[in-house]
Amino acid sequence: MRASDVKRAFRYRFYPSDAQAGELSRTFGCVRKVYNLALAARTQAWARQVRVNYNQTSAMLTDWKKTGELAYLNEVSSVPLQQALRHLQVAFTNFFAKRAKYPRFKSRKKSRRSAEYTASAFRFRDGELTLAKMAEPLDIVWSRPLPEGAAPSTVSVSQDAAGRGYVSLLCEDPSVQPLPATDAAIGIDAGLDHLLTLSTGEKISNPRHERRDRARLAKAQRRLARKAAGDGANRAKARRKVARVYARIADRRRDHLHKLTTRLVRENQTIVIEDLAVGNMVKNGSLARAISDAAWSQLRSMLEYKAQWYNREVIAVDRWFPSSKLCSACGSLQRKMPLHVRTWTCDCGTTHDRDVNAAKDILAVGLTASVCGAGVRPQRKTPGGQSATKQKPLQREP
């Protein structure tokens, strides 16, 4: 990938004035309304076995604005409304390609409040960003500079559940250059006691960000639970306090994962990971909180896009590969490997740390698949009939 092909979103905190906050609130509401109207129209058409595309929903938007009931849609910039229709089109494209579930309606309380502006709906000049329908530029905290000479192609404005405003500018970043090729390769075994165990023997501790703030979160949630459902301002204030605790946890987790994945991508040419079914794993009630806090899916996503930026390779090994029970020295497969067994000795005399051995096996099978182009899904049964399903060393979260 050439450096000029890399587009990065630079995210900043901003503090709107009262007038800007009002305009953004109206825009968020209109974006949600248009998205839901278009989704309802497409769903009804789908029931009649008729497909509706973006151009047709765009024509519907024009008609909606002419009605008395939806005339308020004319009060906000039309660009975020059109972008909402484009996002819906992408959602349907992913659904028909079986990459995602059927699009869902946006909730006023639970859905993310956001709006996207293209170049025709904002002005970026002399380090100041002014959105359509606003007289003054946004008060942005420029925590890091944009790439020299960068011209944002799109701007996304959002507000999280804690009430914090963020603006994201999508720019080409020439500073992203492919890293020099290296022979280094690493296998990664994910866990809960240790977030990652590397084939080099290194174990990366699990920060457990959610558990560190669990007492504070429980206190905020108790206060929210005591507020009556109709206790408007007080309940909203308590809800924001809960959201601020969650935001603190998410911020620290994201920061840690960025630092970790950047290090792994810079140091290794090939990274082999497990293709974990996190969505199924969180159905385990006793482990769901710990698994969600580990954020394995987010970690994998970061590894993949950073590897693409820097000309690295990420290989995913099938989740059923029995890496914990396979000796990395002689290749023999153990029939049983209870979860409480953390070290074991193979018949060949090699003593293994369970997680390190798994990481070595993951690396070996990943490199083999990369060289020969074959799949990495093994037979589910051993010659003796024993299941070869990998047993994950997950311990009950206290």
Nearest 5°: CA angle at 26, between 23 and 32? 140
Annotation says 353 is catalytic: no
274 a catalytic residue: yes
Question: How far, in Å, CA of 131 to CA of 138, rounded?
Answer: 8
Cα distances (angstroms) measured from residue 204 to each of 264, 289, 305: 12, 19, 21
In the set 23, 210, 274, 293, the catalytic residue is 274
Q: Which residues of 7-36 are buried (b: 16+ CB within 10 A; e: fewer)?
A: ebebebebebeeebeebbeebbbbbbbbbb
Q: Is residue 361 flagged as an active site residue?
A: no
| Catalytic member of 189, 210, 293, 361 | 189
Among positive and negative, which fits the CA dihedral 59, 61, 62, 64? positive
Candidates 86, 82, 90; CA nearest to 30 is 82
Q: Would you call 210 exposed, middle or buried from its count of C-beta atoms within 10 A (0-12, 13-18, 19+)?
A: buried
Q: Give the Cα separation of 370 and 363 in Å (integer).
A: 10
Q: Which residues pair with 169 in a beta bridge?
A: 10, 155
**Residue 236 identity (one-letter amino acid):** A
Which residues are known catalytic residues? 189, 274, 355
